[in-house]
Structure 1
Amino acid sequence: MKKRFVFLFVLALGFVLSACSGNGNGTDKGSDEGTSVGKEVKYKIVGIEPGAGIMQATEKALKEYDNLADWKLVESSSTAMAAELQKAYEKKEPIVVTGWSPHWKFAKFDLKYLEDPKGIYGEEESIETLVRKGLKEDQPSAYTVLDQFHWEPSNMEEVMVEIHDGAEPKEAATKWVEANKDLVSEWTKGAEEVSGEKISLAYVAWDTEIASANVVGKVLEDLGYEVDLIQLDAGPMFASVAEGDADAMVAAWLPLTHADYMDQYGDKLENLGPNLEGAKTGLVVPAYMDINSIEDLK
C-alpha cells in the first residue's frame, strides 16, 4: 500500500511539472512562443495597396529572409490594414502588418517595428514636395507656400488622430491650422493673397497624405485660392503632376517608397525638398508580441 502511494505521488508531481513547463500552451514567452508566431498568424503579413513601395520592399524581404520562405504578403488597402490591426490589437491577438510612420496607429496603439538586419526597408525616409514645372511663374504665392511647408511627424499625427476619431479631413485641417498660426505663418511668409485663382493638389489616400493635403489646401484657401484636392493612386499621382494635370503634391516618400515613380517622372518635376523628415517604413507588430526582429518570424 505504501509503495502504491509513492507511485501515485510521483505520477501526480509529473503532471504538475509538465503543466508548468511552458511548452507553448502556458504563459511562457520564450522561444517556443516565438517559433509559433507564423502558425498563429497563418504565415500572413497584412499589406496595403499593390504597387506601393513598402509592398515591393516586403516582397523582397520574403525572398531575402530564409525564415519567410513560407510566408505570404496579403494585398489590401491602408484602411483595411489599419482595421485588421485594430481588431487584433483589441483582442490582444498576434498580427504582422506593413507599417509606416507618421501614422495615427502609433498614437493610438503600443506598436513596434521589427528590426531589419538585412536593411531591406532602408533608413528613415522623408516626405517631399513636388510641383509641376512652371508653377513658380504661374502661381508664385502657392509656390512660396509649398516651398516653405515643413512640419514634424507629431504635427501630422495630431491631424490624423482627429480624422481617425471621426472628424472630416477638412474639419481636422481647419482646427489644426487655427491652433498652429505661428508655424503656418512661417509657410506663408512672403506669399501674397490672391483672389480665386485655382490650384490643384494630388494626393494618395494614405492617412498621412490625407492629413497633409488638407492642411496645405486649407492654408492656400486662406490665401484666397480655389483649391482642388485630387485623390489618386501613387503612380497616377506622380504622372498627373509631371504632365501638368495637377499643380503639386506633398506626398513623395523618398528615397525608397516612391523610388520607381521618381525614376520614371522625376525629370519632369521640380523637387522642393522635404516637408517632413523622420518617416519610416517596415514590418510592425503590437508591443505585446514577444518578438523583436524579422528573423523572429519563424
Structure 2
Amino acid sequence: MLKNKAKALMLASLVAVTVITGCSKEASSSTERSLGSQVNHEIIGIDPGAGLMKQTAQAIEDYDLKEWKLVEGSSAAMTVALDKAYKDKKPIIVTGWTPHWMFAKYDLKYLSDPKGVFGKDEQIHTIVRNNLKKEAPSAYTMLDRFEWTPEEMAVVMSAIIDGKKPEEAASSWVKDNAGKVGGWVKDLSQEKGKKLKLAYVAWDSEIASTNVVKAVLEEKLGYKVEMLQVEAGPMWAGISDGSADAMVAAWLPTTHKDYFDKYAGKYEDLGPNLNGTKLGLVVPAYMNIESIADLNTK
C-alpha cells in the first residue's frame, strides 16, 4: 500500500515537473517571438534611394533575418512612427543616423552591428561641380572653408523641429555665430546677384546644413541661391552634369560610395564639413535588445 502511494506521489511529481517545464519552454518561446510579432517583423526605413536603406537591406541578408522586412517611406514618416511608439512605450526598430534631432528628444540606442554591415563612423563632405572655383571663386572658397560640429548642427535642427522655418533657423544661427561664420567668408569678394544652385536630400541634417550655407552665401557674399531638394542619385548626377553647383550632403565613405565611384572625375571633393556621423538600426532605450543579431531570436 505504501509502495503504491509512493509510486503515485512520484508519478504526480514527474507530471508536475513536466507541465512546469513545458509551460516554461512555452513562455520562453513566446518571449522569443514577442518582439518580432509586436512590430510585425518590420524595420521602419526612410526614402528608398538612401544609402542607409541599401545597408539595412544588406543587414537583413547578412544577419539572416528571413522573417523581417524593411518598410520604405521618408525620414519624416519614420520619425512620426517613432514618436507614436515612444509615447506609448511600445517597441519599434528604425533606420537611424547621427547627427539627428531625435537623439536629443528621445532616449535611444543603436543596436550593435557585430558584422560591421553599417561600416565605421562617417563624414559629411562638400562636393562641388567642376570649374566652380573659376566661375564663382568666393562661393568656392566659402564652401571649402565650411565646417561645423554635430552639436552646432543640432541647434539648427532643434529650432526647425520646434517650429521655426528652416531659413529662419539658419539665419538665426548665422547671426549667433558671427565669429565662426566670419572665418568662412574672411577676405572674400562680394558677388552680388550671381546665381547658385545647392542640391540636398531631405534629411533633417542636410536641411539644416544647406540652409546655413545658403544664408551665408546670400547674407555675406551677395549670391542668389536656389535650393534643389532631390534624392541621393539625382543630387550626385546634378553636381556631375553641372545642373547643380554644390552640395554639403555627401555621406562618405560608405553611404554614398556608389555615387562617389560612379561619377568620379565629374566633381570636386572639398573634404569633410562635419565629422562624427553614425548609421545603423535604432531602438528606444527601454527595449530589451542590444544587437542586430538578437533579432533572430526575439
Normalised by the length of structure 1, the TM-score is 0.88
Q: Specify the code of the residue in structure 2 equivalent to 1:44.
A: E
Give the 5 Å matches for 1:161-172: 161-172=158-169
Shift of 1:107: 1.1
- Give the match's secondary structure for 1:36: helix
Give the 5 Å matches for 1:218-233: 218-222=215-219, 223-233=221-231
How far apart in 2 are the matches of 1:232 and 1:90?
31
Q: Which residue of 2 is the match for residue 245 of structure 1?
A: 243
Normalised by the length of structure 2, the TM-score is 0.88
**Structure 1 stretches of 4+ moved >3 Å:** 21-25, 30-35
Q: Quick check: 48-57 or 117-126, which moved more?
A: 48-57
Shift of 1:128: 0.2
Structure 1 residues 161 and 22, CA gap change in structure 2 (3 angstroms): farther
Shift of 1:148: 0.4
Q: Which residue of 1 is the match for residue 7 of structure 2?
A: none
Q: Unpaired segments of 5 or more residues in structure 1?
A: 1-13
How far apart in 1 are the matches of 2:194 and 2:32?
58
- Give the match's secondary structure for 2:264: helix
Q: Which residue of 1 is the match for residue 259 of structure 2?
A: 261
Residues 75 and 203 of structure 2 are in contact (CA less than 8 Å); yes or no, is this contact kept in structure 1? Answer: yes
1:159 aligns with 2:175: no
How far apart in 1 are the matches of 2:140 and 2:259?
22
Q: Match for 2:37 among 32, 36, 39?
A: 39
Q: Which residue of 1 is the match for residue 13 of structure 2?
A: none
Structure 1 residues 109 and 23, CA gap change in structure 2 (3 angstroms): farther
Q: Which has the larger radius of gyration?
A: 2
Shift of 1:33: 4.7
How far apart in 2 are the matches of 1:291 and 1:23?
20
Residues 49 and 231 of structure 2 are in contact (CA less than 8 Å); yes or no, is this contact kept in structure 1? Answer: no
Q: Which residue of 1 is the match for residue 146 of structure 2?
A: 149
The CA RMSD measured in Å over matched residues stands at: 2.0
Q: Specify the code of the residue in structure 2 equivalent to 1:247.
A: D
Q: Unpaired segments of 5 or more residues in structure 2?
A: 1-15
CA deviation profile, 1:206-251 (whole Å, cap 9, x unmatched):
1111101000000000111111111111111111111111110000
Give the 5 Å matches for 1:41-120: 41-66=39-64, 68-120=65-117
1:175 aligns with 2:180: no
Shift of 1:165: 1.2
* Aligned residues with identical type, % of pairs: 56
Shift of 1:189: 2.1
Q: Specify the code of the residue in structure 1 equivalent to 2:264.
A: G
Residues 57 and 120 of structure 1 are in contact (CA less than 8 Å); yes or no, is this contact kept in structure 2? Answer: yes
CA deviation profile, 1:45-79 (whole Å, cap 9, x unmatched):
0001112111111111111113x121000111111
Q: Which residue of 1 is the match for residue 273 of structure 2?
A: 275
How far apart in 2 are the matches of 1:231 and 1:71?
31
